[in-house]
Amino acid sequence: MAETYRKLSILIPVFNERGTVEELLRRVRAANTLGLEKEIIVVDDASTDGTSDILEKIAQDGAVKVVAHSWNRGKGAALRTAIQHVTGDILLIQDADLEYDPADYPALLKPILDGRADVVYGSRFLGGPHRALFFWHYAANRFITLLANIVCNLNLTDMETGYKVFKRKCIEGMNLTSNRFGIEPELTAKLARRRCRFYEMPISYAGRDYSEGKKIGWKDGVAALWHVIRYRFFD
């Protein structure tokens, strides 16, 4: 018997995105979710650039729930906080920097709604339009994805993608511990250990450079290698 889904919880970790967060939330609120009710949960990870003031105004109409951290704890910690507030049947992770386009929601949701998938990753490497920059980021991403595939027995093309969508029941009782970008391999390893059915869908990607506010760096890439091993075998 096919499962019934009524609500999509969109989890948005935010840190110092004054220039993009308002437009991002406008796009999220306008996005087609294939008939699912939207629950938008934003976690302000102690922004210092005026983002908090923007979010406070946006939250006044009640369409967006804003939760604030008192100190900066990282993307993983922000997502753990957001998960504590979800009531939806399906969860979707959305970055606040406009690199990922909410117009891709229908494609990401369809494999779950059709009963084919438990987890859907939006891949930047399956033919969608993308900004061309940072060869070494690309190479590091492919290497980390290869390692994750080897230890998790998957064949993903983009493990580090910011678009991860999954049934709420897939993470019920899951002990997530990552504070920073290690949340990407942690989720992948633990979802794979639960034998969830993975799908990938092509997405568009408008990557930023560091002058435009990009935050992930080479240290996060090195840490990701350890996280892949740790969360597959030791956590």
Residue in 168, 223, 159 with CA at minimum distance from that of residue 192? 159
Please state which CATH number belongs to domain 7-234: 3.90.550.10
Run means of pLDDT, 10 residues per run, the chain, 235 residues: 88 96 97 98 97 96 95 96 97 95 97 97 82 69 87 92 96 92 91 96 78 54 70 68
- The pTM assigned to this predicted structure is 0.88
Predicted local distance difference test score (pLDDT) of residue 140: 79
The C-alpha atoms of residue 100 and residue 174 are separated, in whole angstroms, by 26
DSSP-assigned beta bridge partners for residue 63: none
Residue type present at position 178: S
Predicted local distance difference test score (pLDDT) of residue 68: 97
Predicted local distance difference test score (pLDDT) of residue 176: 94
Predicted local distance difference test score (pLDDT) of residue 210: 45
The domain ranges of the chain are 7-234
Dihedral sign, Cα of residue 63, residue 87, residue 191, residue 172 = positive
The C-alpha atoms of residue 179 and residue 75 are separated, in whole angstroms, by 6
Predicted local distance difference test score (pLDDT) of residue 233: 66
